[in-house]
Structure 1
């Protein structure tokens, strides 16, 4: 009997090891992840996940790849535009993995590789445009950047969904020059508006003068109105001889 218990006791450590090993082979894969499984160094045909998967250790190894969109900050790059203006430009790249196998097998580190491609493409493309084009067509340049980076990352199973130019840092001299140019444009518009107003006022005055000149009575009434306005402004009494034309017009008015 003692021999039986002794023999069963030998299986205790083995059973414990088996339980621990089985638990270590279990792995939880999240909904947004997939597991690329290597069996003796070779990738299988299917991905594992999401959910609870079993990895046969040590002959199998699982590499977890996230399928979510990642935000990649492209640090400020020193750019020399086509018109020889030095500036710093930073960008943001939004990408996601479409093919986890290619992301693991096609490049050593797809995240770092995408970052390097984004930096070199940014410098290359913006070096071909002028400063005015960069400031005026940022949206078009962002689309071109996305297409160029996406073509480079496609063999890795990585899709670039969007690229945005984050900031454009101009030299102080360029900023001052642009400020003066904007101020000059505002002054130009103000002068044009003032000139248009003066032209409209002169046309209206000319039209009013033509209408008044066709009616002698209206001329004299306007004459009296002007005298009254002068007296009111100066707070004084003005004695002014009336012209004979006004008297004749007044007599004609009273007779009527």
Structure 2
């Protein structure tokens, strides 16, 4: 055991010496390139606004460099730039099966922002590919938990659930999912025709219900009117006479009125009523003549 420990310490000393030698060579190269820095030549890196650079020394993480210009040791250090702006990731079209066993094709998009560059670099090999794969699998699973009608009706709620699920799984990668949106949901053409027929049948059924409801209300109104006329028989006679007046106004003709109707109007003070037995004649200026007979 002591021999193994001694050998290990010896390897560490050799490694440390080799690292110092490489760092020295890198510093020498950096000094030699100083006259060319104005031309942005040599071990120089420019980090643009909206980006950061993850600095490592011999593969070990050191720090995150904000936007700016940096001179680094090209032998011992390396830089990896990471975009901190919101990125739009297209999710390939997915053929999914709904809970009611209907086939749909879904097209979606994901909005992602890197909030921790070090995690995005070291926790996952390719965070863009990882997000795309995770979003596709999550989309298939969530679609399978809903009926087709729910997917069309509650699309915003499904988008919110996709976003929450993605955020919970990508937080450890240093990412923030701003949203997952289903842009298009395609169903087979035969299913589209069937849904159109169902919608048309529903509209026709609603129209029939509305007509039936109107007829029911009209029946109640007519029943109330019939009861009122039954309590006041004279109102029915007046209504009948008003109908005759309207008919005679449309055509220049004579309307024959039974004696029973004329006599029933005697108490109303209608002008033109004759007394005595026999046919009765009623006339109004400007109106066709109405004669009564047995």
Please classify the TM superposition score into its range, dividing by the shorter chain length.
Answer: 0.7 to 0.9
Q: Which of residues 118, 141, 150 in structure 2 aligns to 1:124?
A: 141
Q: Which of residues 40, 44, 47 in structure 2 aligns to 1:26?
A: 44
Q: Which of residues 244, 250, 254 in structure 1 aligns to 2:265?
A: 250
TM-score, normalised by the number of residues in structure 1: 0.83
Question: Equivalent residue for 1:176?
Answer: 193
Q: Which of residues 152, 163, 166 in structure 2 aligns to 1:135?
A: 152
Matched, 1:94 2:111: yes
Question: Equivalent residue for 1:10?
Answer: none
TM-score, normalised by the number of residues in structure 2: 0.73
- Secondary structure of the residue aligned to 2:265 is helix
Q: Which of residues 216, 236, 256 in structure 2 aligns to 1:219?
A: 236
Deviates more, 1:88-97 or 1:200-209: 200-209
Matches within 5 A, 1:11-22: 17-20=33-36
Q: Which of residues 85, 89, 114 in structure 1 aligns to 2:102?
A: 85
Post-superposition offset of 1:217: 3.1
Post-superposition offset of 1:191: 0.9
CA distance in 1, matches of 2:249, 2:110: 73
User: Who wins on radius of gyration, i.e. which is larger?
Assistant: 2
Distance 1:248 1:241, change over 3 A: closer
Distance 1:201 1:243, change over 3 A: farther
1:90-129 deviation per Cα after TM superposition (whole angstroms, max 9, x unaligned): 1111111111011111122111111111112212222233
CA contact (8 A) 1:92 1:164 kept: yes
Distance 1:254 1:82, change over 3 A: closer
CA distance in 2, matches of 1:95, 1:179: 37
CA distance in 1, matches of 2:263, 2:189: 75
Q: Give structure 2 stretches of 5+ with no counterpart.
A: 1-29, 271-294
Q: How many residues align?
A: 239
Q: Which of residues 35, 53, 64 in structure 1 aligns to 2:53?
A: 35
Post-superposition offset of 1:153: 2.0
Post-superposition offset of 1:239: 3.0
1:147-197 deviation per Cα after TM superposition (whole angstroms, max 9, x unaligned): 222233222211212111111101112111111111111111111111111
Matched, 1:192 2:206: no
Q: Give structure 1 stretches of 5+ with no counterpart.
A: 1-13
CA distance in 2, matches of 1:43, 1:232: 103
- Secondary structure of the residue aligned to 2:53 is strand
